[in-house]
Amino acid sequence: MPVNGKLWNSRLISKRIGAALPAALAGLLAAAPLACPTRAPEPRARPADTVRSRPQDSGVDDRRAMGAAPDVTAPPDVAAAASSGAYSRAALPVLDIHTHVDPTATRTVLALFDARGIHTAVNLSAGFEGAGLEEALAQQRESRGRILPFCTLPWRATAHPQFVSESVRILERCRALGVRGLKIPKVLGLGARDLDGSRLRVDAPRLDPIFAAAERLGMMVLIHTGDPKAFFQPANPQNERWEELQAHPSWSFHGPEWPSFDEILGEFERRVLRHRRLVFIGAHFGNAAEEPDRVARLLERAPRYHIDTSARVPEFGRHASARMRTFFTRWQDRIVFGTDLGLGEDMGEWMLGSHGNERTTQRDVDRYFSATFRYYEGDDAECENPTPIQGRWNIHPISLPRDVLAKVYGGNAARLLGIAWPPP
Ligand SMILES: [Zn+2]
């Protein structure tokens, strides 16, 4: 998810992490630059030329009978969102490896998951010990193991000489508490500072002990590097993600102070290739949904490398159906389903892969799930994309066979996490 995603999430997480930094790093943080530089917000203007690509289609919604009944204890808006029931046509259980969920909103989140066929999810915003992890572990228990935490590290303190050694210690504690994975956000490469104040590169050798520790501890590393290509191009009306960039000016990485898309992707690829026995998951279609051939080359070279699909159906869905069906078939054991949902108690604040300035509505939630499942399962020539703010274009469903769907929707991630699948 974006570094400065929905407010409930970023405020909650940064407050907790700031308050609970290890003593060795806390002093430094007061003087440290923000992890990811932000720019002054622009007026909350909405582009006038946002023509919907197509009216909501009921192709998948009509299978609502397959959806579970909404939890009657859920807040009314969630119960309503649940009852409209966009659901996987294949009725296969889903394991969502890429979510950000408020640990205080477990009941609300589970009601949504029940309604949409998501059995298990990984919460990538679980922080670390003293900085949110305890709450995330409580959520894991409360959800009976349906919401699993991946920890993170104090990325705002990377310029501190003890950042790496402290991070190794944090990882060891996380693993001892049962955490199976580490999430690395895009701030590494886009904002984090090295000892001398320069940009800390994703493949900086100084960070090697962190990855070595993850490997030694049997943890996987889910890593988000860079962002959509368009964010590295000039932010103007010609930019194909202009609508999204207007809503979030700080997501623009165009200019001499930023690395190029290719440069940062190269750093990421070298990082993955340096740790051959570590299970990496490249977030957002391997951080390169625009270039499936490049993603495939890394999958070929790094046998334990996987990719998640989160927040990029609108991007990789633009490629021709036949090309992407071939890709998913070829890499059916190495692709894991993800959404990048950001979920709290208030549905209006939910993030569905991306978001604008308006409150999220039930219609947005319906469209998001309908279009997502329709992409994987449908055989239409095209359909609307799940997250229109990412671009007002249609996508091309790929009609995957059931056995491939079963792996991508849950089987692969369950194998990595060591949990029984399909769930009992
Ligand atoms: Zn995310």
Give me the DSSP letters along 92-130: --EEEEEEEE-TT-HHHHHHHHHHHTEEEEEETT--BTT
Calculate how far, in angstroms, residue 100's C-alpha sits from the geometric centre of ligand 1. Answer: 7
Q: Which two tokens stand for residue 413?
A: 């991630």
Q: 391, 240 in Cβ contact below 8 A?
A: yes
Angstrom distance (rounded) from CA 114 to CA 70: 7
Instruction: Specify the pLDDT at position 345.
Output: 94
Give me the amino acid identity at 276.
Answer: R
Q: How confident is the model at residue 22 (pLDDT cuts 50, 70, 90)?
A: low
Q: What is the mean pLDDT of residues 340-358?
A: 90
Angstrom distance (rounded) from CA 64 to CA 378: 16
Calculate how far, in angstroms, residue 124's C-alpha sits from the geometric centre of ligand 1. Answer: 7
| C-alpha distances out from residue 98 to 46, 378, 391, Å | 28, 23, 21
Say yes or no to pLDDT of 104 above 80: yes
Q: List, as one string, the DSSP characters of 158-195.
A: TTSTTHHHHHHHHHHHHHHTT--EEEE-TTTTTT-B-T
Calculate how far, in angstroms, residue 8's C-alpha sits from the geometric centre of ligand 1. Answer: 14
Calculate how far, in angstroms, residue 98's C-alpha sits from the geometric centre of ligand 1. Answer: 6
Calculate how far, in angstroms, residue 310's C-alpha sits from the geometric centre of ligand 1. Answer: 8
Say yes or no to pLDDT of 21 above 80: no
Say yes or no to pLDDT of 130 above 70: yes
Q: What is the mean pLDDT of residues 386-401?
A: 89
From the list 41, 99, 113, the residue with the least C-alpha distance to 71 is 113
Q: Which two tokens stand for residue 396?
A: 């091309």
| C-alpha distances out from residue 321 to 285, 380, 382, 395, 408, Å | 16, 10, 9, 9, 17
Calculate how far, in angstroms, residue 338's C-alpha sits from the geometric centre of ligand 1. Answer: 9
Q: What is the mean pLDDT of residues 304-309?
A: 98
Q: What is the mean pLDDT of residues 396-408?
A: 96
Answer with the residue of higher pLDDT: 10 or 313.
Answer: 313
User: How many helices and strands (H and E) does the chain possess?
Assistant: 16, 12
Calculate how far, in angstroms, residue 53's C-alpha sits from the geometric centre of ligand 1. Answer: 25
Calculate how far, in angstroms, residue 145's C-alpha sits from the geometric centre of ligand 1. Answer: 20
In a domain, 404, yes or no: yes
Calculate how far, in angstroms, residue 340's C-alpha sits from the geometric centre of ligand 1. Answer: 5
Calculate how far, in angstroms, residue 363's C-alpha sits from the geometric centre of ligand 1. Answer: 22
Say yes or no to pLDDT of 402 above 70: yes
User: Looking at the 3D structure of the chain, how many domains does it have?
Assistant: 1
From the list 197, 182, 49, 57, the residue with the least C-alpha distance to 128 is 182
Instruction: Specify the pLDDT at position 78.
Output: 47
Residue 354 has what DSSP assignment? B
Say yes or no to pLDDT of 149 above 50: yes
Whole-number mean pLDDT of the chain? 83
Q: How confident is the model at residue 358 (pLDDT cuts 50, 70, 90)?
A: confident
Q: How confident is the model at residue 391 (pLDDT cuts 50, 70, 90)?
A: confident
Residue 287 has what DSSP assignment? T
Calculate how far, in angstroms, residue 2's C-alpha sits from the geometric centre of ligand 1. Answer: 6
Calculate how far, in angstroms, residue 344's C-alpha sits from the geometric centre of ligand 1. Answer: 14
In a domain, 19, yes or no: no
In a domain, 26, yes or no: no
In a domain, 398, yes or no: yes
If one counts every other C-beta atom within 10 angstroms of the C-beta of residue 108, the result is 24
Angstrom distance (rounded) from CA 27 to CA 12: 21
In a domain, 177, yes or no: yes
Q: What is the mean pLDDT of residues 35-49?
A: 28
Angstrom distance (rounded) from CA 325 to CA 331: 10
Q: Which CATH number belongs to the domain containing residue 307 in this structure?
A: 3.20.20.140
Of 64-68, 109-113, 122-126, 235-239, least confident by mean pLDDT is 64-68
Instruction: Specify the pLDDT at position 54.
Output: 24
Answer with the residue of higher pLDDT: 258 or 20.
Answer: 258
Calculate how far, in angstroms, residue 14's C-alpha sits from the geometric centre of ligand 1. Answer: 15
Q: 398, 405 in Cβ contact below 8 A?
A: no
Say yes or no to pLDDT of 297 above 90: yes
Instruction: Specify the pLDDT at position 23.
Output: 55
**Residue ranges making up the domain that contains 110:** 7-13+54-417
In a domain, 273, yes or no: yes
Angstrom distance (rounded) from CA 410 to CA 350: 23
Give me the amino acid identity at 223.
Answer: I
Q: What is the mean pLDDT of residues 315-322?
A: 96
Calculate how far, in angstroms, residue 103's C-alpha sits from the geometric centre of ligand 1. Answer: 16
Residue 411 has what DSSP assignment? I
Q: How confident is the model at residue 137 (pLDDT cuts 50, 70, 90)?
A: very high
Instruction: Specify the pLDDT at position 373.
Output: 94
Say yes or no to pLDDT of 42 above 70: no
In a domain, 20, yes or no: no
Calculate how far, in angstroms, residue 342's C-alpha sits from the geometric centre of ligand 1. Answer: 8
**Which residue carries 């209006």 as its tokens?**
348
Relative to beta strand 341-343, strand 351-352 is: antiparallel
In a domain, 423, yes or no: no
Calculate how far, in angstroms, residue 129's C-alpha sits from the geometric centre of ligand 1. Answer: 20
Q: How confident is the model at residue 88 (pLDDT cuts 50, 70, 90)?
A: low
Residue 231 has what DSSP assignment? G
Q: How confident is the model at residue 25 (pLDDT cuts 50, 70, 90)?
A: low
Calculate how far, in angstroms, residue 65's C-alpha sits from the geometric centre of ligand 1. Answer: 30
